[in-house]
Amino acid sequence: MTTNLPYNFLTFTTQALALPVILRNHQAGDPLSLESQTAASILVVEDDPRTGDNLVAGLTGNGYRAILARTGEEAFFLIHSDRPDLVLLDLTLPQRGGLEILAMIRTQQNPPRVLILTSHNSVEDRVAGLNAGADDYLGKPFSFPELLARVASLLRRVPTPPRSSTLEIADVQIDRNARTISRSGVPIELTPREYDLFLYLLEHRNDAVSREMLAKDVWRETSRFTPIDNVIDVQMTRLRRKIDDPFPIKLLHTLRGIGFILREPEQ
């Protein structure tokens, strides 16, 4: 989709954002050095030639390895062959639509992060995109510095080496290294956003967590001029369906007027 990019679209550079980003396949606990860090790979899926070329040039100029797919079919091939760390995904594409590409990505064992970048920017569109499994959503026209900040936020999530890779609450077990979760021995498939949300709640078990905390710490929203409470509620509903609904003991609870809590069951 064509977008009205700012005239100085490619002139925005920030030294902090220009540093290479560690790839997601780095193993927690491995020593990190400048020599061992590799520029993250970003797949830009955009059918408008000018927008796609400008995005690739801007991202490359800020230290990323950016590649371009102009059709859904080309994106489908590159996601499997190139294994990008992040996908910037337009929704309206020839051959295969953006949501179809997103659904395919979510079937992968170690899927890339997905930032939807589209002119479809109503609240309903944002909720639908996030509900389909996107990690973030940015409407066109957009500010390139904001795009860089969102890209960096999605890619910098390299976990601090934990004392133990396994966390448990009741009959739920989560493996932070493998990013897998199971309950009563039954594997539960979560999107990357759902996983991050549940891990955050687990790390704050038995404590009230507000929507403001989730917006800041999970969604990385530093400004709430555009409230995302409805997006958070949608994700919590989806998470509850997977974690709680099939099981007799409920762990996720809504605190009216406050937020949410992941609570240990009473003995």
Residues 6+ apart with CB under 8 A from 140: 1, 3, 4, 117, 118, 119, 121
Phi, psi angles (nearest 5°) of residue 26: -65, 135
Q: What is the pLDDT of residue 221?
A: 73
| All structural domains of the chain | 9-155 (3.40.50.2300), 166-262 (1.10.10.10)
- Report d(CA 229, CA 227) in Å as an integer: 6
Q: How many residues in the chain? A: 267
Q: What is the pLDDT of residue 198?
A: 95
Q: What is the pLDDT of residue 8?
A: 39
Q: What is the pLDDT of residue 157?
A: 62
For residue 42, the cross-strand partners are 66, 86
Residues 6+ apart with CB under 8 A from 2: 48, 50, 51
Q: Which two tokens stand for residue 163?
A: 């004392």
Task: Show the low-confidence residues of the chain (pLDDT under 70).
Answer: 1-38, 108-109, 157-164, 222-227, 267
Q: What is the pLDDT of residue 73?
A: 80
- Report d(CA 129, CA 230) in Å as an integer: 13
